[in-house]
Amino acid sequence: MKNIIKIHSRIPSFNQTIVIPGDKSISIRCILLGAQANGKSKFYNLLDSGDVNSAINAVKSLGVKIKKKKTFHEISGVGLNGFEYKKNLVIDCGNSGTLARLLCGMLAGYDCEVKIIGDKSLSRRDFSRVVRPLKLFGVNFQNKKKKLPIKISGSKFLRPINYFEEKGSAQVKSSIMLAALNTPGITSITSKPSRNHTENILRYCLRLPIHIAKKRKLDVINLEGQKNFKSFDYKIPGDISSAAFFIVLTLLSKNSKLKIKSVNVNESRTGILTILKRMGANIKLVNKKFYNGEHNADLLIKSTKEFKSINCPSSLNTKTIDEFLIIFLVCAKANGTSRFNKIHELRQKESDRLKFAAQFLKKIGIKVKEKYDSLTIYGNPNLKLSGNFIVKNFLNDHRVFMMTCIAALSFGGKFKIHDKNSINSSFPNFLRIIRKLGAKIN
Ligand code: S3P
């Protein structure tokens, strides 16, 4: 029973201020880049979670020292190409697609064989998307499969590439940039815009020769490699992908107000704010700050009585990729029919989130139309639940678990929700914050 929670009542009204844990994408990038810097880097408010611990263990296994101090992590970087040579090294990336894919790029210049493994969820995800460009650099992959486990052997003689990244995947783009760091000459990537934390760290923290231009709505990134860089310090802001659950909880609750302090609101991540505001949500950004190329702000959210439906422009997809699940709950309560197109990448996440969303919404009485690449949700502004619901997770997906909790706290009914431990990968204190807001959870 330990891994199951019960929620039997809606959350009472609240008016509070909360702080959200550090951004996962920035935390993982800080570790991988700090490991290759010359000297000691300090990272404040690094996310304390399974995915980030896997990243810490990965660089430790390559000979990098990391100390956890009272308010920061200190990483003693070994410089570009400074990793210890080890035979038969196996790196376990756990649940983290970001770590596994970025690691492949980071190991491009490491001419030792490394086996990369992951949990059940990660082992079903596609790796051909990083194998393809990395092979062009001159990296060897022993197995032909598109999935983990994979064996990668880097090379001391990498050649720069000119690559068109068509998925709008920040993981693929970042993997290529990490390989480019170890490659002589200029690597060029043309890609659909996606989260740009790697570019920002390279430019604002490491001062590397990176040039970014816009060409017909695409980003063209040119990065010159084999330039050593100094250590850097970073105060990691709150993760908007974690804040998302509390934004929606507040919107769907009665007479409630919430302030979420210091959240990363980088333009490439705020699709959720654009979509919810268009649907009528009461959300304000205050106290905006610019730091290391990133915008951060406090979010003020108020309960909202009525929501309009949305025909979501697919240009917002990469900016919203991890938040669709929670946005679908608002669509369930909206007045009218909401449509999301070109969202098949949701099937490639920690689980098939498109399939889960469709099944879950049907379970709670919402009509949906699911196609391979789209979801249509027929909203019901009077949605209120009674009766019993048992929700089993798909492959221990953290966001599936958290979305289900928010549905239970917002719509009522008696919920039994499985796989609580999934939250460890991104947001271990999720339930603690929910309880602090006044929810009753057994
Ligand atoms: C991430 C990029 C996104 C996102 C993931 C984190 C990153 O994946 O879904 O949770 O840190 O680069 P894709 O870039 O594959 O869409």
| E-state strands within 392-432 | 412-417
248 and 161 both lie in a single domain: no
253 and 376 both lie in a single domain: yes
Range of the domain at 16: 4-22+237-436
- The pLDDT score that the predictor gives to residue 143 is 80
Q: Which helix (H) or strand (E) holds 302?
A: strand 294-302
Ligand 1 centre and the CA of 171: distance in Å? 5
What is the number of the ligand 1 atom nearest to the C-alpha of 318?
A: 16
Ligand 1 centre and the CA of 231: distance in Å? 25
- The pLDDT score that the predictor gives to residue 84 is 97
The residue out of 213, 235, 257 marking a domain boundary is 235
Task: Tell me, using a 6 A CB cutoff, whether residue 264 lines ligand 1.
Answer: no
346 and 395 both lie in a single domain: yes
Could you tell me which residues come within 8 angstroms of residue 70 by beta carbon, excluding any fewer than 6 positions away?
none
- The pLDDT score that the predictor gives to residue 1 is 61
179 and 310 both lie in a single domain: no
Count the helices and strands in the chain (H runs, E runs). 13, 23
- The pLDDT score that the predictor gives to residue 144 is 78
What is the number of the ligand 1 atom nearest to the C-alpha of 129?
A: 15
216 and 287 both lie in a single domain: no
32 and 137 both lie in a single domain: yes
223 and 249 both lie in a single domain: no
Q: What torsion, rounded to 10 degrees, do the Cα atoms 331, 335, 336, 337 define?
A: 0
Ligand 1 centre and the CA of 97: distance in Å? 8
Task: Tell me, using a 6 A CB cutoff, whether residue 195 lines ligand 1.
Answer: yes
106: which 2 tokens?
């980071």
167 and 309 both lie in a single domain: no
Catalytic residue ranges: 322
Amino acid at 109: G
394: which 2 tokens?
């798909």
Q: Cα–Cα distances in Å, from 197 out to 42, 45, 288, 359, 380?
A: 17, 16, 18, 33, 38
Instruction: Determine the Cα–Cα distance for residues 127 and 168; give it in Å rounded to an integer.
Output: 15
Peptide linkage before 149 cis (omega within 30 of 0): yes
Residue corresponding to tokens 């604002």: 204
Q: How far, rounded to the nearest angstrom, does the alpha carbon of residue 315 sit from its chain's CA centroid?
A: 18
Residue-wise pLDDT for 304-357, tens only, equals 999 999 999 999 999 999 999 999 999 999 999 999 999 999 999 999 999 999
Asked whether residue 26 carries a pLDDT value surpassing 80, the answer given is: yes
Q: What is the CATH number of the domain that holds 360?
A: 3.65.10.10
387: which 2 tokens?
């009766």
The residue out of 185, 208, 235 marking a domain boundary is 235
Task: Tell me, using a 6 A CB cutoff, whether residue 174 lines ligand 1.
Answer: yes
Give the chain's length.
442
Angle, CA of 238, 412 and 337, to the nearest 5°: 75
Task: Tell me, using a 6 A CB cutoff, whether residue 98 lines ligand 1.
Answer: yes
Q: Which helix (H) or strand (E) holds 221?
A: strand 218-224
Alpha helices of 49-142 — where are they, by DSSP H? 50-60, 97-106, 128-137
**Residue in 171, 197, 202 to alter for ligand 1 test, most ligand atoms within 8 A of Cβ:** 171
Ligand 1 centre and the CA of 388: distance in Å? 34
Residue-wise pLDDT for 254-313, tens only, equals 999 999 999 999 999 999 999 999 999 999 999 999 999 999 999 999 999 999 999 999
Residue-wise pLDDT for 41-68, tens only, equals 999 999 999 999 999 999 999 999 999 9
- The pLDDT score that the predictor gives to residue 72 is 98
* Residue at 441 is within a domain: no
- The pLDDT score that the predictor gives to residue 148 is 97
131 and 271 both lie in a single domain: no
Contact between 214 and 236 under an 8 Å Cβ cutoff? The reply is no
Residue-wise pLDDT for 361-414, tens only, equals 999 999 999 999 999 999 999 999 999 999 998 899 999 999 999 999 999 999
* Residue at 442 is within a domain: no
The residue out of 205, 235, 265 marking a domain boundary is 235
Residue-wise pLDDT for 139-148, tens only, equals 999 887 789 9
Q: What domain count does the chain have?
A: 2
pTM: 0.98
Give the DSSP letter of residue 374: E
257: which 2 tokens?
């107000």
143 and 266 both lie in a single domain: no
Instruction: Determine the Cα–Cα distance for residues 346 and 320; give it in Å rounded to an integer.
Output: 11
262 and 131 both lie in a single domain: no
246 and 193 both lie in a single domain: no
Take atom 10 of ligand 1 and give the residue whose Cα is closest: 322
